[in-house]
């Protein structure tokens, strides 16, 4: 990369170690691997290894806007002994803190901030096998590139691991754990004990929380010195590298000074130990979750099938075996889905052929089943596996899978930066050869393979009896008394069943609407049409439906190639009789679980999967104040999308079994939440205190609503709210030709039937809104569990009847600056935090400006968090804001409104259209918003902060023990 100014050279001097090159060249410092020149042109790809053992990869990908630079270390949780639990993860956290040349940590470094880098540019992850440090650098920002590489070098050998930093991270690691695994982590610990019993080098995490608070810092430092050695390190740079030779020189010069490794540690010792073990069996008792009233009776079976033949050494053969494993996974997953496509099934399956966390197996089969259906779940899964081995893959199955694999191999993915990032990681961490090098041979192999040969190969590598079996069951369950012999004998009885017919899939639907219904749908007339202030075409159809069409060219981002639809009506559950409201709020959830018309949920999902390009369906919703439906598809699937919408308005499905199954699964989700339950419940309680309209019920609020949700009331409420098409406005945005889209809208939305029986009053929810008299509110944890961490939240609320878009954007900027400032609580003030949120904007329902901040922390830190949070808020109000905090916040808000980036992404434009047509907000051209954002001065932010932040507008909420 050519340095463009003197300041960049100054930054480079911090990083470069001017190593004395012998023999007048660099070849004594490194070696380059000879790779197939057909795939690896030295003008765009370099791989080398320094004499100290460090490996580097450079890949030029033209037209990429970001350089992805990574520092990879071959150390993860598998390297940790019992007294070293989570040490690799703790070191990953400490990489952001003090080091030799960043005494206050990387994020508090003036040099780092001057390079235009913030927390949003750098990330790190720890897994079972590795630790990854990642920096995303704008192409052309040589100062940022230099600082990123400087950070990597600090991580490699210069981390201080001070007592103060370590003590802070003890708490933040615990916060991270609780945010990922919830407040009742016994499931997680039981699963770890099971894995520990089957595989070498895996800690069972017993005593994790105590260990976290008591481990010796000297042990952590020893771990760092032992594992952070150059021969276990890799540097990867992928993107539009301006000068490959110069970049290579920078890497060689900068990292050659690292001392050579003291000793070489075996990379694959754990996998080697596993391969030499006999078949394993372990059963684990899951302790009762005594903090909750809800007992959990699920059984978890984990079955691991080793390769029948030893792993091939030839790289092409390795890839072929991986493809075969993937084919088996697809077939088994599809067949298990087919036999469990029914309601009130008490078992679920997952199949995995590429779990890099564990030693390599041909397949991994996981079965979760109810206490009463355990044997049935096992029987079905083993039966399907046995059926595949004895009767083989079906011709239709093979053709579908082969077409999918061939399509994947021919995709443009192999030209992207992400492909190179992933394959470089796999090459370095797992010694895999690059996929690209064998792509053509694999394609040829797949195209030539017939069904007979496929089945012969699968039988060569697959087995019917799992080698390794893990069981997790509730404490006291009778299965825990069974021996390994008993379990394997039972499985053998299933496998040796002589009556194994060839598998056949049930008949599936081929159309959502039959020909008779389609023929009756004639294009509705347009009774009015105009171009609105937003530049969108606005029409009204014969049945009263209003449709908006905004075709434009989005920038890259989520849904950039999709047509996004949002239909809404300005009435919701609060306009219904009170005893119908909860059923109304939940009705879209159980209707989506039911299906449409004569088609059940499972057949509907199959139809979408087999007949569309990733169309997932339409999603109706009901809140207290609004009813609506959202969907997105590409142009080819638009007719299917509109047919789905048509059915959600005209032909919802009544199914008692599906309704009962939905309630059962929602209760199960509450027992096993996939999100931090205390955070959701805390947020719900704040909304309740502030008299907010109910939206998507979640957490304890949803669980407690299940008893009050009635199928008939929900169906009637849904029909009432969706039965008046003239009350709905549908917005279509994206890049699309108008005529075909308009014709389909006229055909389907123009025929939405009117079937309402009442005349609901459209009114704003905030007519009698009130605020709590108290400004400091303690919220208790719901009775079903006890929280292990605290949450402190501040809400700044100021009534404002009319929206001022400029003030709104300034409030978003204030929120971004506030969030950047609040991160100082962790990275500067030393409070053990892992997560915090901050947002600012206009509440359309309440007609007010809002600034909201939430901090998740240990209970012992709550008082300090409250004190420091208020100090930060009033520092902002008084104009005492560090410049790096202002820069970080404004960088985020400028990115949001950039017309070359997020400002013209589908998500932003579709949201702006919704707010314009739903809440009558002023329409502002995105370019005008961008120009305004670039004109915002620090004084503008301070002026707004002075207007908003005071004790009268401020409400504090605390999650209590």
Q: How confident is the model at residue 186 (pLDDT cuts 50, 70, 90)?
A: confident
- What does residue 536 show for φ and ψ, rounded to 5 degrees? -90, 150
Domain with residues 773-960, CATH architecture = 2-Layer Sandwich (3.30)
Per-residue 3-state assignment (H helix, E strand, C coil) for 198-210: HCCCCCCCCCHHH
Summarize the confidence of residues 63-68 as an average pLDDT: 90
Per residue in 432-448, pLDDT (tens digit) is 888 778 888 999 999 99
Summarize the confidence of residues 825-854 as an average pLDDT: 93
Q: How confident is the model at residue 181 (pLDDT cuts 50, 70, 90)?
A: confident
First to last CA, the chain: 54
Does this chain's domain 271-495 share its CATH topology with 515-753?
Answer: yes
Looking at domain 515-753, which of 3.30.830.10, 3.20.20.80, 3.40.50.360, 3.40.1400.10 is its CATH number? 3.30.830.10
Q: How confident is the model at residue 40 (pLDDT cuts 50, 70, 90)?
A: confident
Per residue in 406-429, pLDDT (tens digit) is 988 888 888 899 999 999 999 999
Mean pLDDT (the chain, rounded): 89
Beta strand segments in 359-485, E: 363-369, 468-474
| Whole-angstrom distance, CA of residue 835 vs CA of residue 824 | 12
Burial of 785 (0-12, 13-18, 19+ CB in 10 A): buried
**Contact (Cβ atoms closer than 8 angstroms) between residue 122 and residue 148:** yes
483-491 CB contacts, 8 Å cutoff, 24+ apart: 484/281, 487/281, 488/281, 490/375, 490/378, 491/378, 491/382, 491/465, 491/466
Summarize the confidence of residues 735-742 as an average pLDDT: 97
Per-residue tokens: 639: 């007719």
| pLDDT higher than threshold 70 for residue 959 | yes
Burial of 805 (0-12, 13-18, 19+ CB in 10 A): middle
| pLDDT higher than threshold 50 for residue 19 | no
Longest CA pairwise span in the chain (Å): 91
Classify each residue of 920-953 as buried b or exposed e, where b means 16 or more C-beta atoms within 10 Å of its C-beta.
ebebbebeebbeebeebeeebbbebbeebbeeeb
Residue 133's CB: how many other CB atoms inside 10 A? 22
Per-residue tokens: 471: 């069981």
Per residue in 579-593, pLDDT (tens digit) is 999 999 999 999 999
Q: Where are the alpha helices (DSSP H) in 46-129?
A: 87-94, 110-114
Nearest to 748 by CA among 541, 514, 537: 541
| pLDDT higher than threshold 50 for residue 22 | no
Q: How confident is the model at residue 12 (pLDDT cuts 50, 70, 90)?
A: very low
| Whole-angstrom distance, CA of residue 308 vs CA of residue 467 | 10
pTM reported for the whole predicted model: 0.90
**Contact (Cβ atoms closer than 8 angstroms) between residue 227 and residue 88:** yes
Q: How confident is the model at residue 74 (pLDDT cuts 50, 70, 90)?
A: very high
**Contact (Cβ atoms closer than 8 angstroms) between residue 793 and residue 855:** yes
Q: Where are the domains of the chain?
A: 6-255, 271-495, 515-753, 773-960
Per residue in 269-311, pLDDT (tens digit) is 777 888 889 999 999 998 876 444 455 568 899 999 988 766 6
% the chain with pLDDT above 90: 68
Per residue in 883-920, pLDDT (tens digit) is 999 999 999 999 999 999 999 999 999 999 999 999 99
Per-residue tokens: 788: 């292990």
Looking at domain 6-255, which of 3.30.465.10, 3.30.70.2860, 3.30.365.10, 3.30.830.10 is its CATH number? 3.30.830.10
Per residue in 338-348, pLDDT (tens digit) is 888 889 888 88
Burial of 431 (0-12, 13-18, 19+ CB in 10 A): exposed
Specify the DSSP class assigned to residue 625: S
Looking at domain 271-495, which of 3.40.50.920, 3.30.830.10, 1.10.10.60, 1.10.760.10 is its CATH number? 3.30.830.10
Q: Which pLDDT value is given to residue 745?
A: 98
Nearest to 365 by CA among 327, 329, 401: 329
| pLDDT higher than threshold 90 for residue 122 | yes
Per residue in 190-240, pLDDT (tens digit) is 999 999 999 988 888 889 999 999 999 999 999 999 999 999 999 999 999
């Amino acid at each position: 990369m050519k340095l463009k100014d003197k300041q960049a050279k100054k930054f480079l001097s911090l990083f470069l170690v001017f190593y004395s090159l012998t023999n007048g060249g660099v070849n004594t410092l490194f070696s380059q691997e000879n790779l197939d020149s057909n795939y690896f042109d030295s003008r765009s790809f370099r791989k080398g290894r320094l004499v100290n053992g460090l490996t580097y990869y450079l890949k030029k990908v033209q037209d990429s806007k970001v350089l992805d630079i990574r520092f990879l270390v071959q150390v993860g949780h598998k390297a940790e002994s019992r007294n070293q639990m989570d040490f690799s993860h703790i070191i990953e956290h400490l990489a952001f803190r003090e080091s030799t040349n960043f005494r206050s940590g990387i994020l508090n470094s003036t040099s780092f901030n001057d390079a235009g880098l913030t927390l949003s540019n750098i990330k790190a992850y720890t897994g079972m096998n590795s630790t990854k440090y990642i920096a995303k650098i704008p192409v052309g920002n040589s100062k940022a590139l230099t600082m990123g590489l400087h950070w990597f070098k600090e991580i490699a050998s210069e981390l201080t691991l001070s007592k103060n930093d370590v003590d802070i991270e003890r708490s933040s690691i615990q916060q991270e754990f609780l945010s990922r695994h919830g407040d009742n982590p016994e499931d997680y610990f039981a699963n770890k004990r099971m894995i520990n019993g089957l595989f070498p080098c895996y800690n069972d995490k017993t005593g994790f929380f105590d260990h976290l608070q008591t481990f010796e810092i000297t042990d952590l430092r020893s771990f760092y010195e032992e594992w952070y050695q150059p021969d276990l390190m890799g540097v990867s740079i992928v993107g539009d590298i301006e000068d490959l030779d110069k970049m290579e020189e920078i890497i060689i010069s900068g990292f050659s000074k690292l001392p050579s490794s003291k000793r070489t540690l075996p990379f694959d010792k754990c996998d080697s130990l596993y391969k030499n073990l006999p078949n394993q069996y372990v059963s684990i008792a899951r302790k009762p979750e005594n903090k909750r009233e809800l007992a959990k009776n699920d059984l978890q079976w984990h079955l691991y099938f080793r390769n029948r033949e030893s792993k091939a050494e030839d790289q092409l053969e390795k890839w072929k075996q991986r493809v075969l494993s993937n084919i088996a996974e697809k077939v088994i997953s599809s067949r298990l889905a087919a036999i469990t496509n029914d309601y009130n099934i008490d078992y679920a399956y997952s199949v995995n052929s590429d779990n890099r966390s564990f030693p390599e197996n041909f397949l991994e089969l996981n079965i979760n089943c109810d206490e009463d259906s355990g044997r049935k779940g096992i029987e079905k899964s083993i039966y399907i596996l046995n059926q595949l081995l004895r009767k083989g893959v079906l011709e239709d199955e093979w053709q579908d899978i082969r077409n999918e694999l061939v399509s994947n191999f021919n995709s443009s993915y192999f030209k992207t930066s992400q492909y190179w990032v992933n394959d470089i990681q796999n090459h370095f961490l797992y010694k895999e050869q690059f996929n690209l090098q064998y792509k053509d041979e694999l394609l040829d192999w797949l195209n030539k393979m017939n069904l007979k040969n496929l089945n012969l190969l699968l039988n060569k590598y697959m087995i019917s009896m799992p080698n390794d079996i893990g069981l997790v069951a509730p404490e006291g369950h009778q299965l825990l008394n069974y021996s390994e012999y008993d379990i394997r004998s039972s499985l053998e009885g299933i496998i040796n069943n002589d009556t194994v017919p060839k598998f056949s899939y049930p008949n599936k639907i081929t159309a959502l609407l039959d020909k008779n219904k389609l023929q009756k749908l004639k294009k509705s007339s347009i009774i009015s049409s105009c171009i609105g202030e937003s530049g969108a075409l606005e029409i009204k159809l014969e049945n009263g439906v209003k449709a908006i069409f905004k075709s434009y060219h989005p920038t890259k981002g989520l849904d950039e190639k999709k047509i996004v639809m949002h239909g809404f009506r300005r009435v919701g559950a609060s306009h219904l009789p009170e005893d119908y409201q909860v059923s109304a709020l939940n009705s879209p959830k159980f209707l989506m679980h039911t299906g449409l018309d004569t088609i059940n949920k499972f057949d509907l999902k199959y139809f979408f999967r087999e007949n569309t390009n990733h169309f997932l369906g339409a999603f109706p919703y009901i809140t207290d104040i609004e009813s609506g439906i959202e969907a997105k598809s590409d142009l080819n699937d638009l007719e299917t999308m509109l047919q789905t919408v048509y059915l959600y308005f005209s032909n919802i499905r009544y199914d008692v079994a599906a309704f009962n199954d939905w309630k059962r699964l929602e209760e199960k989700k509450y027992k096993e939440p996939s999100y931090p339950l205390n955070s959701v419940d805390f947020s719900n309680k704040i909304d309740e205190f502030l008299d907010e309209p109910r939206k998507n019920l979640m957490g304890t609020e949803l669980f407690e609503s299940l008893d009050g949700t009635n199928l008939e009331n929900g169906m009637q409420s849904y029909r009432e709210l969706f039965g008046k098409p003239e009350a709905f406005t549908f917005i279509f945005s994206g890049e699309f030709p108008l005529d075909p889209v308009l014709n389909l809208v006229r055909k389907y939305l123009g025929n939405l039937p009117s079937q309402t029986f009442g005349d609901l009053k459209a009114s704003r929810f905030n007519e009698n809104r009130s605020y709590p008299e108290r400004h400091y509110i303690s919220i208790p944890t719901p009775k079903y569990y006890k929280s292990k961490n605290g949450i402190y939240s501040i809400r700044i609320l100021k009534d404002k009847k009319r929206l001022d878009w400029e003030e709104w954007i300034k409030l978003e900027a204030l929120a971004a600056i506030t969030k950047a400032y609040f991160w100082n609580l962790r990275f500067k003030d030393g409070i053990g935090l892992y997560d915090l949120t901050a947002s600012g904007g206009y509440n359309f329902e309440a007609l007010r400006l809002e600034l909201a901040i939430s901090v998740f922390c240990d209970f012992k830190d709550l008082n300090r968090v409250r004190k420091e949070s208020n100090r930060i808020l009033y520092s902002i109000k008084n104009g005492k804001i560090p410049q790096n905090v202002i820069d970080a916040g404004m960088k985020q808000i400028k990115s949001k409104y950039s017309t070359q980036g997020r400002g013209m992404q589908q998500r932003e434009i579709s949201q702006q259209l919704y707010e314009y047509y739903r809440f009558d907000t002023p329409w502002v051209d995105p370019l005008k918003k961008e120009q305004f954002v670039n004109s915002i001065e620090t004084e503008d932010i301070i002026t707004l902060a002075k207007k908003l932040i005071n004790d009268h507008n401020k409400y504090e909420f605390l999650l209590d023990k």
